[in-house]
Amino acid sequence: MGGIGSGRSLTGSKRTTMENTLKIDIGTLKRLGLFREGQAGALWWTRNGEETGQVDYVTQKHGIALNYRYRAGGGDWESVSLNIAYGITPCHFGGVRHWLVCPSCKRNVGVLAADSKLFLCRHCYELPYASQSESPIDRMIRRREKIGKRIFAQNGDQVYLRRKGLHKRTYERELNHYHELEWAIDYWISVKLNALDGLI
């Protein structure tokens, strides 16, 4: 049987956020075909080739049963059995949407996280996303990099090369936003450097 609590933090961060917990999301379960009753197997997580957690599962008629071992810090291992129900809500234009039901608050959510022994929603664990604790400069840099990955072709040192298949007008609009963020980042850095010069 696999376990959680034995591996390292997924990001190495000292503060727990959604990004550095083990997570189960409804999209992954759907892609793996785990809505069919009677299936058994294991889910596992790795980072840099190192296993950070594993749970065994058995699918049920309206959910999934997890079995795993857990330990906090260097404590003793304990066996955990957790049943997670699937929630279903109708879509406006037909069909249904599937959810995971938090075992604690019974809220329909897309992701459950194991910040401690159980997989619960981020509201129960009061887990923030990493972006919620970003500084203004970190947020601008992240937004610029996100735009760059979306619009630029990966072609060595040739910068600002439009990605194949991207509409020209969309590219130009996003490129303007990219340059605006570059200017804002440079301005922010210059202000901080000038402030430091004044302290010397």
Joined together, the tokens standing for residue 124 give 């129960």
Q: Is the pLDDT of residue 144 over 80?
A: yes
Domain end, chosen from 88, 110, 129, is at: 129
Count of Cβ atoms closer than 10 Å to residue 47 Cβ: 15
- Mean pLDDT computed over 119-129: 81
- Mean pLDDT computed over 174-196: 85
Alpha-carbon distance values, 150 to 4, 167, 168 (Å) = 35, 12, 13
Joined together, the tokens standing for residue 137 give 């400069």
* Pair 30, 94 in one domain: yes
Q: Nearest-5° angle of CA 22, CA 23, CA 24? A: 140
- Whole-angstrom Cα distance, residue 46 to residue 126? 24
* Pair 28, 119 in one domain: yes
Which residue in 102, 105, 104 sits closest to 85, CA to CA?
102
Q: Which residues pair with 46 in a beta bridge?
A: 51
User: Phi and psi for 145 in degrees, rounded to 5?
Assistant: -65, -35
As a dihedral over the C-alpha atoms of residue 108, residue 116, residue 23, residue 16, rounded to 10 degrees, the angle is: 110
* Pair 107, 190 in one domain: no
* Pair 91, 138 in one domain: no
Residue type at 198 in one-letter notation: G
64 contacts 78 by C-beta, under 8 angstroms: no
Q: Which residues pair with 65 in a beta bridge?
A: 58, 83
139 contacts 131 by C-beta, under 8 angstroms: yes
pTM above 0.85, yes or no: no
* Pair 92, 168 in one domain: no
* Pair 117, 27 in one domain: yes
**Domain boundaries, position 160:** 134-199
Q: What's the confidence (pLDDT) of residue 14? A: 44
* Pair 110, 193 in one domain: no
Domain end, chosen from 103, 129, 155, is at: 129
Q: Is the pLDDT of residue 95 over 50?
A: yes
Share of the chain above pLDDT 70, in %: 82
Tell me: the pLDDT tens digits for 28-77? 898 888 888 999 999 988 877 777 789 999 999 999 999 999 988 778 88
* Region class of 176: left (phi > 0), else alpha (psi between -120 and 50), else beta: alpha
Number of domains in the chain: 2
